[in-house]
């Protein structure tokens, strides 16, 4: 009976924690892919304790990029950004975890690498704004839209990580 009680306890903790998790969209841009930084970025998210739910490498159309960055359409760099994003492979990912949108953005650092703190992805791995290697959703609403734009539901893998009980109380 003691073993069943312990297992029930873990199940309750895990199901409670999982109900508070969220998903975010992270993309390694063509400059990050070309520089061989995909593994480093995945490593940082995994070490933090987030779970990878989907991953694919794609060369997206300019129209897809325009749709992804539609909220920036009025800005002068929009066309160049869209052109750059479809200039080579992009690694698109969905990460899952507690407060992953907020924490993912903190891990990325500021949009301008010059303003990013050491220890952040952009602070450690980037120099210029136009080659800041990574995109991350800036809100839960954006994450949901971006995930739907980049992934079909059947491409998202649902599973319970064996690490969950060691990451969450």
Which tokens belong to 112? 């301008």
Angle 98-26-93 (CA atoms, 0-180°, nearest 5)? 90
**Number of Cβ atoms within 10 Å of the Cβ of 16:** 11
DSSP track, 80-91: HHHHHHTSS-EE
Say how far residue 16 (Cα) sits from the centre of its chain. 23
> What φ, ψ does residue 87 adopt, rounded to 5°?
-80, -10
Backbone angles phi, psi at 151, to 5 degrees: -130, 145
Active site (catalytic) residues: 135
């Amino acid at each position: 009976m003691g073993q069943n009680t312990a297992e029930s306890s873990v199940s309750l903790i895990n199901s409670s924690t999982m109900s508070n998790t969220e998903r975010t969209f992270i993309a390694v841009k063509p400059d990050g892919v070309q520089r061989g930084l995909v593994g480093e970025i995945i490593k940082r998210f995994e070490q933090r304790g987030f779970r990878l739910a989907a991953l694919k490498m794609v060369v997206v159309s300019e129209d897809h990029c325009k749709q992804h960055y539609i909220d920036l359409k009025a800005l002068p760099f929009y066309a160049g950004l869209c052109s750059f994003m479809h200039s080579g492979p992009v690694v698109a990912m969905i990460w899952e975890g507690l407060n992953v949108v907020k924490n993912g953005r903190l891990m990325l650092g500021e949009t301008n690498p010059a303003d990013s703190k050491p220890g952040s992805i952009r602070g450690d791995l980037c120099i210029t704004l136009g080659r800041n290697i990574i995109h991350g959703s800036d809100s839960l609403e954006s994450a949901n839209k971006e995930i739907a734009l980049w992934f079909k539901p059947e491409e998202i893998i649902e599973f319970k990580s064996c690490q969950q009980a060691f990451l969450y109380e």
